[in-house]
Every structure is written in structure tokens, then in C-alpha cells.
């Protein structure tokens, strides 16, 4: 199927993406993967993640490339009235818009949702992503993923006694905020089919960080006990942890007594399942350290990868702990098309499947302003008007240097 023939579940949708960095771009890349047309409106300096590197390839940073495929780029100076008029024209037939400006910025530009966007575009779904939301004691403050991980308690439950609290190695709060935002936009669009009206939807890093605290928050609500730094282990399930083997570490996720019995048989220690210390998960929790010592000794001389294959075949969740080359070249990764390549671009694939209208990486991450001319022409601007916008640097041809 060629890109021109592509019909995804969101084909026909037009989304104006004013967001930068990660949460918003991750949201719109996902919606673009599903067929929506994403017009990425960038400030004259460009999305700052274009400079977040190395590594770089063909002038694009890996960070920017990872969350900006399936988009068109328009450089636009929204700080000037003429730039805002261009945006308003683009919104006339848009299904949704998204931005992650500091609260009050859109209002300062006379683009506030309640005052301007809602009355002018009553069917528009407008998504606002922020650090802490617009109200409350922290409302309006800027936020980055690491700060959200810290203040929302995620760092406090990650790590072990030796390491102390640790930031997670991926920007999990930013990514989850983007996914929550995508869900909210789609939910608002479903409701619009009933009411005929769009609405404002909000997502922020703080609320997302709190929402991600399962099961630690649920445990604290019920017991009042502080979570402990237990590394890879699970606070509610044993054995659910990383274990060393002769060929590298593996992870065992034994979720019930039946799986534990099967594990013991696969390890050639069926009597372990009959040990009174390990009969139930509650028993195994009470004797966590003793069971770990037994399993470490049993696993020490095994081929971890082969063992994991045997355990999976026996219905026991297990897997080797792979590095980037290990997972991104894994036969299952490739079979599931979770690595995509197009015109020199390589990225992770679309993680959801549709039986009739699959997602697709149709276009590579755009060069800054690469689509400005075509976007403006489609919006009805004449050649002379576009030239005037470029001459006035309202639609910059190149990124403006940050001073």
C-alpha cells in the first residue's frame, strides 16, 4: 500500500500541533501513525529538541526524530498578530489542536480557548498539556519529566538500598501524558458525534505522575506502610525479580501458585513447591529472601535465554534482560514490525493493531519549515501573500538562532 492510498482509522482528520519537546509530540505522532494529518506549527527557533543531541543525522537529532514522524512542519511566529491570523485560518477546518504552552500564554496572544477558540470553532477539540495544570498550589509552574518523577513519588519507589532513589531511565511521565492526551482527544471526538460540540481537554505531568503510582499508592492507601526500595523485585508478588544466570540476567514474573509449581518442576526442584515457606504468594512474600537465595543458586549454572524459552513454553512469564541491540534486532521485534524504516529513517513501530485500517509510518520527521509553502497555499494564501509573510519573518524559511 502506498502512502497516497493509505487509509488509517484517523484518515481525514486534521490536527494542528503547537506542542514541543515530548508529551505533545508523542501524542500527535501516535495520532499521525493512525492516519491523522498532523501540521506541526513550530516557533521561529524550531522545536528545541531539534538541538538535543548528539546523535544527529542529516541535521536531525535522534530525540526529535523519535517523536515527530508523520508530520508536516510550518514555521510560524505566533508572538505577532499576523502569525496568529495564519493559525486561526488553519484551525478553520481542523478536528483538533494541541499545545503545551505555559498557562496564560494562549490568552496573552488572544487565542484563549473560552474567549476565542470555542466561539469561533465550536467543534474543535483543543488539548492543553502543562506541567502542573492551570490551578492549585503548583498551578502554572513549568514542569519537566524528571521533576514530575521526583515530586510525584516515582523516584522514591525506584532503585534499591545501595543506589537510593533513582529516576527511571525513560521519560515515562512525559510519554504517559502524551498517551493520556491522545485518549482524551479521541474521547472528546466520540462525544462530539453526540453533541456536535468540541471541548477543552487538559493533561499535565503532575496528574499523570500520580495516576502512574499503581500499585504503590493502592498499597499505601490500604496499609499505610511506606514502600521500600527493593530494586527489580515486586512489592506484592514473589518471585517477581531479576536473577543472574550463566549467560546473563533474566526476569521471572511468577504471578500465581500454579506458575510457581511449574517453575519448580522446570528447575528440577519439584519439592520446592511443597515447602511450607513457599506454598502461597503470601508465604513467599514472608520468606522472600530465602526463596531468592534458593533460586539464585539453582539458576547460576543455567543458560538464561534457553531457560526463558522453556519457561515461556510452560506458561511461566520469563525473559532475558536485553539491551538496545538485543531488543531492536530481536526476531520477535522484527516479526511484529516494531522497527520501521523509511527513506533512511529508523524508528520504533506502531504498537497497536487494526484488522482493516492499520497504522503506518508514512513520512519521515520533517525538516523545519519544509511544508510551509504547501500548507499556506492550501489555506488559500496567494504567492504574493506567502512572500510577504516570509519577508516579514512571520513564516521563517530557516530556524532563528536562540539568543
Nearest to 390 by CA among 378, 376, 401: 376
Helix residue ranges, H only, 92-155? 105-108, 118-120, 145-151
Measured in degrees and rounded to the nearest 5, phi and psi for residue 17 equal -105, 105
Q: Residue 62 pLDDT more than 80? A: yes
CB 254 within 8 A of CB 308: no
Look at residue 388 and tell me whether its pLDDT is greater than 90.
Answer: yes
Burial readout 313-332 (b: 16 or more C-beta within 10 A, e: otherwise) = eeebebbbbeeeeebeeeee
pLDDT at 4: 56
What's the CA gap between 254 and 237, in Å, rounded? 8
Segment 117-128 mean pLDDT: 98
pLDDT in tens, 294-316: 999 999 999 999 999 999 999 99
Q: Model confidence over 12-44: pLDDT tens digits?
A: 999 999 999 999 999 999 999 999 999 999 999
Q: How far apart are CA 351 and CA 338, in angstroms?
A: 7
Mean pLDDT of 255-282: 96
Q: Quick check: 148 and 131 in contact, CB under 8 A?
A: yes
* Mean pLDDT across 95-104: 96
Mean per-residue pLDDT, 212-220: 96
**For residue 1, pLDDT beyond 50:** no
Q: Does residue 74 contact residue 42 with C-beta atoms inside 8 Å?
A: yes
Catalytic residue numbers?
A: 174
Angle at CA of residue 40, ends 192 and 353, nearest 5°: 60
N residues, the chain? 403
Q: For the chain, list the domains and their CATH numbers.
A: 3-212+353-391 (3.40.50.10540), 240-328 (3.30.1540.10)
Collect all residues with Cβ–Cβ distance below 8 Å to 245 and sequence separation of at least 6.
299, 300, 302, 303, 304, 307
CA atoms of 324 and 339, how far apart (whole Å): 12
**Three-state SS at 186:** helix
pLDDT for the residue numbered 2: 43
Each residue's pLDDT tens digit, 336-374:
999 999 999 999 999 999 999 999 999 999 999 999 999
Q: What's the rounded Cα separation, in Å, for the pair 115 and 135?
A: 18
Mean pLDDT of 105-127: 97
Smallest CA-to-CA distance from 21 within 78, 103, 102, 105 is with 102
Report the relative pairing of strands 250-253 and 318-320 from DSSP bridges. antiparallel
Element (H, E) at 129: strand 125-130
State the virtual CA torsion across 168, 208, 216, 284 in degrees, nearest 10. Answer: -70
pTM for the whole thing?
Answer: 0.92
Q: Give the pLDDT band (50/70/90) at residue 5.
A: confident
Which H or E run includes 86?
helix 81-91
What's residue 403's pLDDT?
Answer: 65
d(CA 94, CA 39): 10
The neighbouring-strand residues paired with 173 are none
CB 355 within 8 A of CB 302: no
Pairing of strands 71-75, 96-99: unpaired
Q: Cα dihedral sign for 124, 129, 134, 140? A: negative
* Cα gap 292→235, rounded to integer Å: 14
Contacts with 184 (C-beta within 8 Å, 6 or more apart), sequence order = 127, 201, 202, 203
Q: Please tell me the distance from the alpha carbon of residue 43 to that of residue 54, in angstroms, as a whole number.
A: 22
Name 336's Cβ contacts closer than 8 Å, sequence gap at least 6.
349
List, in sequence order, every residue forming a beta bridge with 130; answer none if it has no partner. Answer: 204
Please report the DSSP string for 276-302 in residue order. GGGSSHHHHHHTHHHHHHHHHHHHTTS
For residue 345, list its beta bridge partners.
Answer: 342
Q: Please tell me the predicted confidence (pLDDT) of residue 25.
A: 98
Amino acid at each position: 500500500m502506498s502512502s497516497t492510498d493509505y487509509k488509517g482509522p484517523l484518515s481525514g482528520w486534521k490536527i494542528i500541533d503547537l506542542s514541543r519537546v515530548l508529551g505533545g509530540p508523542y501524542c500527535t505522532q501516535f495520532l499521525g501513525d493512525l492516519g491523522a494529518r498532523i501540521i506541526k506549527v513550530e516557533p521561529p527557533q524550531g522545536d528545541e529538541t531539534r538541538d538535543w543531541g548528539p546523535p544527529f543525522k542529516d541535521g536531525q537529532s535522534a530525540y526529535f526524530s523519535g517523536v515527530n514522524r508523520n508530520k508536516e512542519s510550518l514555521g510560524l511566529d505566533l508572538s505577532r498578530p499576523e502569525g496568529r491570523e495564519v493559525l486561526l485560518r488553519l484551525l478553520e477546518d481542523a478536528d483538533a489542536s494541541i499545545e503545551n504552552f505555559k498557562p496564560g500564554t494562549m490568552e496573552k496572544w488572544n487565542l484563549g480557548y473560552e474567549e476565542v477558540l470555542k466561539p469561533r470553532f465550536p467543534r474543535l477539540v483543543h488539548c492543553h498539556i502543562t506541567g502542573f495544570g492551570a490551578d492549585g498550589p503548583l498551578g502554572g509552574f513549568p514542569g519537566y519529566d524528571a521533576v514530575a518523577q521526583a515530586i510525584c513519588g516515582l523516584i522514591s519507589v525506584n532503585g534499591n538500598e545501595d543506589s537510593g532513589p533513582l529516576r527511571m531511565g525513560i521519560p515515562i511521565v512525559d510519554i504517559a501524558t502524551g498517551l493520556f492526551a491522545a485518549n482524551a482527544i479521541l474521547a472528546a471526538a466520540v462525544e462530539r458525534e453526540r453533541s456536535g460540540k468540541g471541548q477543552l481537554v487538559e493533561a499535565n505531568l503532575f496528574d499523570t505522575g500520580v495516576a502512574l503510582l499503581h500499585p504503590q499508592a493502592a498499597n499505601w492507601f490500604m496499609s499505610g506502610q511506606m514502600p521500600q526500595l527493593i530494586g527489580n523485585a515486586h512489592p506484592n508478588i514473589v518471585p517477581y525479580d531479576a536473577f543472574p544466570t550463566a549467560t546473563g540476567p533474566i526476569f521471572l514474573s511468577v504471578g500465581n501458585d500454579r506458575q510457581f509449581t511449574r517453575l519448580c518442576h522446570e528447575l528440577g526442584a519439584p519439592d520446592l513447591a511443597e515447602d511450607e515457606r513457599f506454598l502461597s504468594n503470601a508465604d513467599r512474600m514472608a520468606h522472600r529472601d530465602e526463596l531468592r537465595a534458593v533460586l539464585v543458586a539453582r539458576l547460576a549454572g543455567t543458560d538464561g535465554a534457553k531457560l526463558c524459552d522453556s519457561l515461556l513454553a510452560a506458561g511461566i512469564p520469563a525473559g532475558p534482560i536485553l539491551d538496545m541491540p538485543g531488543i531492536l534486532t530481536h526476531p520477535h521485534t522484527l516479526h511484529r514490525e516494531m522497527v520501521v524504516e523509511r527513506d533512511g529513517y529508523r524508528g520504533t513501530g506502531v504498537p497497536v493493531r487494526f484488522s482493516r485500517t492499520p497504522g503506518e509510518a508514512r513520512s519521515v520527521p520533517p525538516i523545519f519549515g519544509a511544508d510551509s509553502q504547501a500548507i499556506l497555499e492550501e489555506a488559500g494564501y496567494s504567492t504574493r501573500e506567502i512572500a510577504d509573510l516570509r519577508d516579514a519573518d512571520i513564516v521563517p524559511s530557516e530556524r532563528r538562532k536562540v539568543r
